[in-house]
Structure 1
Amino acid sequence: MNPWLPTAPCTPRDCAAHEGRMRGRPAAAALLLAGCACILAGALGAPFAAMLGAARRERLIRRWAYGVVRAFGVRVRIVGTPELPDGTAGAPGTLVVANHISWLDIPLVAAVFPGRMLAKSEIRDWPLLGPLAARGGTLFVERDRLRALPATVRTIGAALRGGSHVVVFPEGTTWCGRGPGGRFGPAAFQAAIDADATVRPVRISYRAAPAEHGTPAEHGTPAGAAAFVGDDPLIASLWRVVTAAGLTAEIRVLPPIPASGPADRRALARRAQAAVANESANRPPESVHH
């Protein structure tokens, strides 16, 4: 089996049900249009954003990505300290690694850590999102070509050595978020070791509004509506998200891991995976609520 093409047991029928309030069709359609308009605005504005300085461009990307998630009717909760180290001239970038549940993960992570995404080559053909990803410097990988893996590792390593922040979903595919998820593949971690970069793990979760009014969002039930799994068509997932009322996307920023610490890429991948999976480790002292 190709390790670059893991298979999750999650399916839209079994894992993507929404338990909670639903929006009516007119309100859901309005959110769908608003979300797509926000993505389109980002695609049209990308050439102008490229002319800005790095700091201003990152602030703009964060605000735009946050706006995309909110435009689809999903609240955002950021836990932890999202700032990446500034570093010095010539210092390597950071490898940001996260569990993978939904297409919403991409703007959600960008709202905290603007950087170059590693994505499957099929995303190039997605409407709106594909051209935007390409303009944003996404590193595309042909997952069905195992021979392309060493070149992908070299590309990630070069981006990290150049000071870029690279965002990777090491599970290799989406999982519904209701179980432990998949194993973190070690390939991208080799790039971090080669570049002597820092690894920054984050945990993503989606929750539906709790039944009791006034209960904090983090006490709600896992939101299957956000899951984009199996052979789920993108348009079906988009509609499921906008019709599910009371969704909250949470991203927990965990302590950085020096790539020089663990013995090899597999040990580094296991350490990052354990940090993301361990709920007791996902309680940083500072929280930012939106």
Structure 2
Amino acid sequence: MSGWLPVAPCTPRDCAYHEGAVRPPLPAAGLLAAGCAVTLLGLLCAPAALLLGPGHRDRLVRRWARAVVRAFGVRIRVTGAPVERVRPPTGELVVANHVSWLDIPLLAAVLPARMLAKSEIRSWPVLGPVAALGGTLFIERDRLRALPDAVRTLAGALGAGSRVAVFPQGSTWCGRSAGGRFRPAAFQAAVDAGASVRPVRISYRTGRTNGSGAAAFVGDDPIAASLWRVVTAAGLIAEIHVMPQFSAADEPDRRALARAAQSAVASESANLPPSSVHH
């Protein structure tokens, strides 16, 4: 991996653990099987979903993504600004903090969007072709020289009116602190395309306590270990706080835009009482 890429200090040993109530092994195993089955079903149906119009496809993606999160035993709580069911006529860059693999279906359950992914995923069995069919934007993250091409690719998608979701911290963080700073590259694409920016804050709770340790997928954590932590964490709630969008033209440059989005995501105003809980 290139030395210029951001690296979080979070490690599985120090950050990825659950301190609350634990679900017994048998029910947890059932949730694990259900979550994997719902995920696989969606992947197999993805090519057929492309035949639908954008509105119908977005509704289907939202329902499937919500079903994936719930199948793994996690409830979803949505707060903040209303989300338009019709996509805006101009491109929209959705930017969020990054805690877990759960963040991806969680975002899709509220704001279906094209995702950015490292180019290696394109060659993965099953997931690679499905991601490509779903409009994923593949970029080379390990080469600094490839960054201008990545910005142009993202700007092109935004300029064509797409909604694109990115995690500008560049790595997962455990969620117990503000995390890493938002890198400005994706925001340059929003500036170039004249797109809007939609900040989103993602957090996890178990009851009244921070549940980020159960959801965290950090460092060299094996995916199997992370999946098991999630399904054994009783009462895990994924909270997504959607903030109002603003124009990239509202800030003088990409760095100011990145700071404004990061400040919005880190704001205490994101921690409002829940407006809805989906059981």
When normalised by structure 1's length, the TM-score is: 0.90
Partner of 2:215: 226
Q: Is the 8 A contact 2:201 2:270 kept in 1?
A: no
Whichever residue aligns with residue 156 of structure 1, its letter is L
Partner of 2:277: 289
After TM superposition, the structure 1 = structure 2 runs for residues 206-245 of structure 1, keeping only pairs within 5 Å, are 206-209=204-207, 219-245=208-234
CA RMSD of aligned residues (A): 2.0
C-alpha distance in 2 between matches for 1:94 and 1:84: 12
Q: Is the 8 A contact 1:120 1:143 kept in 2?
A: yes
Q: Deviations over 1:171-217 (max 9, x none)?
A: 000000001101100000011011100000000001112xxxxxxxx
C-alpha distance in 2 between matches for 1:282 and 1:3: 34
1:123 Cα deviation after fit: 3.9
After TM superposition, the structure 1 = structure 2 runs for residues 146-165 of structure 1, keeping only pairs within 5 Å, are 146-165=144-163
Q: Is the 8 A contact 1:39 1:129 kept in 2?
A: no
Partner of 1:81: 81
Q: Is the 8 A contact 1:58 1:114 kept in 2?
A: yes
Q: Could you list the runs of 5+ residues in structure 2 that have no partner in the other structure?
A: none
SS at match of 2:210: coil
C-alpha distance in 2 between matches for 1:71 and 1:281: 26
After TM superposition, the structure 1 = structure 2 runs for residues 70-109 of structure 1, keeping only pairs within 5 Å, are 70-84=70-84, 86=86, 91-109=89-107
Q: Is the 8 A contact 1:40 1:128 kept in 2?
A: no
After TM superposition, the structure 1 = structure 2 runs for residues 1-290 of structure 1, keeping only pairs within 5 Å, are 5-84=5-84, 86=86, 91-124=89-122, 129-209=127-207, 219-280=208-269, 283=272, 287-290=275-278
Number of aligned residue pairs: 278
1:6 Cα deviation after fit: 0.3
Q: Is the 8 A contact 2:241 2:270 kept in 1?
A: no
Q: Deviations over 1:11-56 (max 9, x none)?
A: 0000011011112222111111111111111111111111111111
Percent identity, aligned pairs only, is: 67
Q: Could you list the runs of 5+ residues in structure 1 that have no partner in the other structure?
A: 210-218
Change (3 A) 1:31 1:112: same
C-alpha distance in 1 between matches for 2:125 and 2:68: 15
C-alpha distance in 2 between matches for 1:151 and 1:84: 31
1:287 Cα deviation after fit: 2.3
1:92 Cα deviation after fit: 2.3
When normalised by structure 2's length, the TM-score is: 0.93
Q: Is the 8 A contact 2:18 2:211 kept in 1?
A: no
C-alpha distance in 2 between matches for 1:97 and 1:277: 12
Partner of 1:212: none
1:8 Cα deviation after fit: 0.5
Whichever residue aligns with residue 183 of structure 1, its letter is R
Whichever residue aligns with residue 16 of structure 1, its letter is A
Q: Is the 8 A contact 2:99 2:212 kept in 1?
A: no
Q: Is the 8 A contact 1:82 1:112 kept in 2?
A: no
**Bigger mean CA deviation after superposition, 118-127 or 237-246:** 118-127
